[in-house]
Structure 1
């Protein structure tokens, strides 16, 4: 007889090492403690695990899936200095470390590990899955797939301002100075990494879940984003992938995402008439999480 978890919706706070730094995570376990599938999850650009990822995890764990929901180094409750440093390679290393940690856990089936990413992390899970042939499945929600496509949706004046700040920050870092910060989200008239018309309202709805959220990152990241193309990895992914694409997406253009998604060997593509930030809350959340559960039940059923 399987032992029971007292409250599967009350996660344990855990840590795992990545690059000598401790990353903090929530570990959710389903009610029946048996070798179960596990979903590894992290947020998008500058986000933390508290910003509605727990809502997705609660739905998944209620259906028998364990969930590991982590903060990247330098963000949220994880360690690392300087704070708010968004380093793409470090974040990809954190995904690998989280994956290895998930596989090592007791009462987890290491052959049924699933990656779940949204926005910027929706690209990270594609890049990670391309080099992890043993994954059971991947869920990529409104994913960032193409650095050029995402850069071109931005006002050219804003791009120039961000580049100037990024260069100053990169030079300052080489001289041992403190990071120059830029806002993650802002109004269309403001200099920010995301400043589409729906950004402020969308991010505000998410940050209400994390009172400690900081709306800035080290500016040097702006030099890296245009050189990051996780969508190019899709032909190498062996696991089945669910793409949840927001057709009117103002941050991660759907046209580029769809082009990369179609090149994935084993894919299912769902389209939504919602904006980039809408699918975390309300009716949009209900629709997308149900589609994700349907996909999971087909590809990685709970025994």
Structure 2
């Protein structure tokens, strides 16, 4: 059963869905998983499949769009400021804890790709979170660097300073494509990323192939790995793809080793985007469910 929801976040409104099991007793407060997508993506793409599987296992699920994306408020559109995205997660937690059918003492976070780092950071500073699943995550600035278009990342001064000057002089907002055919500038280079996001465009017509250039500044400064040792109150599961071209398994092993609480790494012989389709979607969801059953139920 899915219902539309909304909640305030820093003066704007985030919108999403609350998923409850079909056999849910309205008097029962459920353990709940709060979810949002990775870099630039929106809730309609793949997340319903994950949420429905969590429902089938007895969990409520809150799925939402970050501010500046999808159905949520915010201008300019397609702005990815990691600290603000972490605030959106924390405001989603606050909303969830106010609902009679959600057990505020049993809150888990789930994030995929770029959102894996967002949920790790949000949980580090929010003791209401008891369990985190970071799926094929970007957890450090160094890992983000591998995901970015090489030229745009290696030569940032001219690119980013020109954008800053334009914003200062006229308020102009400049954009970089998220993905593009080979040879064109973009944030996520490579055919694998391009094909994935072209599927996103089909599943979610409100997805836009762009991100503000200012977002790159904020992303470069974001490093949840530096704080992960403080997360002693929440159990962290990291699901890794062994053929991920955006980060190495070894770097994720390091992140798990640095975690302040219970932590585990699982790895699979797949690429970064394979986890969004069966059979791997079911495999990684089952791992997440096992983790939430251990630490939320």
TM-score strictly above 0.5: yes
**What is residue 22 of structure 1 aligned with on the other side?**
13
Q: How far 1:163 moved relative to its partner? A: 5.2
Q: How far 1:188 moved relative to its partner? A: 4.3
**What is residue 260 of structure 1 aligned with on the other side?**
255
Identify the match of residue 274 of structure 1 among 262, 270, 276. 270
Return the alpha-carbon distance in structure 2 between the equivalents of residues 205 and 156 of structure 1: 24
Return the alpha-carbon distance in structure 2 between the equivalents of residues 87 and 205 of structure 1: 24
C-alpha change, 1:152 and 1:64, in structure 2 (3 Å) is closer
Identify the match of residue 56 of structure 1 among 47, 50, 59. 50
**What is residue 208 of structure 2 aligned with on the other side?**
214
Please state if 1:146 is matched with 2:140: yes
Return the alpha-carbon distance in structure 1 between the equivalents of residues 157 and 242 of structure 2: 28
Within a 5 Å distance, the mapping from 1:1-303 to structure 2 comes to 8=1, 11-30=2-21, 31-32=23-24, 33=26, 34-152=28-146, 154=148, 156-160=150-154, 164-237=158-231, 238-264=233-259, 265-301=261-297
C-alpha change, 1:167 and 1:201, in structure 2 (3 Å) is same
Q: CA RMSD in A?
A: 1.8
Return the alpha-carbon distance in structure 2 between the equivalents of residues 20 and 196 of structure 1: 37
SS at match of 1:286: helix
C-alpha change, 1:48 and 1:142, in structure 2 (3 Å) is same
Return the alpha-carbon distance in structure 2 between the equivalents of residues 235 and 146 of structure 1: 13
Q: Verify the 8 A CA contact 1:126 1:233 in the aligned structure 2.
A: no
Return the alpha-carbon distance in structure 2 between the equivalents of residues 174 and 98 of structure 1: 33
SS at match of 1:46: coil
Return the alpha-carbon distance in structure 1 between the equivalents of residues 92 and 60 of structure 2: 13
Q: How far 1:56 moved relative to its partner? A: 0.3
Return the alpha-carbon distance in structure 1 between the equivalents of residues 143 and 19 of structure 2: 36
C-alpha change, 1:183 and 1:253, in structure 2 (3 Å) is farther
Return the alpha-carbon distance in structure 2 between the equivalents of residues 154 and 121 of structure 1: 15
C-alpha change, 1:87 and 1:150, in structure 2 (3 Å) is closer
Q: How far 1:169 moved relative to its partner? A: 2.4
Between 272-281 and 169-178, the greater mean CA deviation after superposition: 169-178
Per-residue CA distance 1:216-253 (angstroms, 9 max, x = gap): 01011222322211122221112111110112211233
SS at match of 1:67: strand
TM-score (norm 2): 0.92
Q: Verify the 8 A CA contact 2:104 2:128 in the aligned structure 1.
A: no
C-alpha change, 1:132 and 1:138, in structure 2 (3 Å) is same
Q: How far 1:152 moved relative to its partner? A: 4.3
**What is residue 5 of structure 1 aligned with on the other side?**
none
C-alpha change, 1:198 and 1:99, in structure 2 (3 Å) is same
